[in-house]
Amino acid sequence: MSDDPGLVTFEDVGTPERDKPPFVRLPEPARLFAARAERFAALAPGHQLEAYLGFLAGLSRAQAALAGAIDAPAPPSLHELRFRAGNAMPVLPREELASDPAVSMAFDRLAALLTDIAMPDIARAALARAVAAEPEARQAMFAAVLTDAVPVEAVAEHIFAAAALQVVAARRSALIDPALPQPVADGVCPCCGGPPVASAVVADLHVEGVRYVQCSLCAVQWNHVRVKCVTCGSTKGIAYQEIEGIADTIKAETCDECRTYVKILNRRKAPELEPVADDVASLGLDLLVTEAGWRRAGVNPFLLGY
Ligand SMILES: [Zn+2]
Ligand SMILES: [Zn+2]
């Protein structure tokens, strides 16, 4: 419990409707990617992955610039959106993005924004290959990202494809009525149908200790109660793993029912935590938890090479 009289707990009987956490929180794309860039830059110095985190800071900065420069793809009709929401379907299915010309255009603009950013030669060569690819090959690359089927030998190209897709998907989701999306299934973004990257206990609502799961693709956040598996919805066999001696603000929430885990960040204790950046920087926790036999359920395109 907080001493702040303005805060109420989730369990309070008779919580007024206005104080209930909204089911969905939409992203503010330009701000989201700028904050992520700052977080990557802050995490980099002295980190084992210093060069990589520095590169991702530059990539996120380019994503922020891209988010401010492109138009979002035209949304489906309100009738279609309502139909999907009413039938427990994602309102803006991610599969539609693979063949959307807006994505291909965004990819070209992103590549141009990356011209002056420091990156390893191998990444630069992969980017050049992806830019030069035929339209069908490019569409296949987007489709691979959107179906979580990135070939291991072509991870570098797909990091850039995922970065462009994230911006277009976030721009698209940001425009809809936040009251529209309805629960689809455990571990599925109600907006685009994508898998989660991580979850966070948020600090900026007038309700204490509320957890949101963040979509790996469109960055929409959906409310998910605590001590409940993000993947299968089980409330039994949930445990929390952390690395001893490291800040306890990032934990892996493991589930013995489905043997998966999703990270949970405590932004009440550490507001600077950013789901995508801190997920990459806490790779050590993944090594520990996967070694102990749980499968990672969170998807993060920037972790594909690890
Ligand atoms: Zn989504
Ligand atoms: Zn589970």
pLDDT band for 63, please (50, 70, 90 cuts): very high
Q: How far apart are CA 209 and CA 4, in angstroms?
A: 13
Ligand 1 mean position to 194 CA, how many Å?
Answer: 5
Instruction: Assess if residue 95 is contained within a domain.
Output: yes
Question: Does some domain include residue 135?
Answer: yes
What is the tally of structural domains in the chain?
Answer: 1
* 75 lies in some domain: yes
Residue 57 in any domain: the answer is yes
Residue 91 lies in a domain: yes
pLDDT in tens, 231-260: 999 999 999 999 887 778 999 999 999 999
Q: What is the mean pLDDT of residues 39-50?
A: 97
pTM: 0.92
In a domain, 134, yes or no: yes
Range of the domain at 54: 29-174
Q: Which sign does the torsion angle of CA 185, 191, 193, 199 carry?
A: negative
Condensed to tens digits (0 to 9), the pLDDT of residues 255-302 reads 999 999 999 999 999 999 999 999 999 999 999 999 999 999 999 999
Q: Is residue 128 domain-resident?
A: yes
Give the number of other Cβ atoms within 10 Å of residue 3's Cβ.
5
Quick check: is 6 in a domain?
no
Looking at the CA of 146, name the nearest ligand.
1
List pLDDT tens digits, range 190-234.
999 999 999 999 988 777 789 999 999 999 999 999 999 999 999
Measured in Å, residue 236 CA sits from the centre of ligand 2 at 9
| Closest ligand relative to 256 C-alpha | 2
Q: Which residues, chain by chain, have CB under 5 Å from ion ligand 1?
A: 189, 191-192, 194, 215, 217-218, 220
For position 40, which CATH number holds? 3.90.1670.10
CA 183 to centroid of ligand 2, rounded, Å: 17
